[in-house]
Amino acid sequence: MLTLLHLLSAVALLVWGTHIVRTGVMRVFGARLRTVLSRSVEKKPLAFLRGDRRYRTGTEQ
Q: What is the pLDDT of residues 35-51, one digit of tens each?
A: 887 887 777 777 777 77
Q: Where are the domains of the chain?
A: 33-61
Query: What's the pTM value of the predicted model, to 2 decimals?
Result: 0.53
CB neighbours (10 Å) of residue 46? 11
- Binning pLDDT at 50, 70 and 90, where does residue 30 land? confident
User: Do 44 and 37 touch, CB atoms closer than 8 A?
Assistant: no
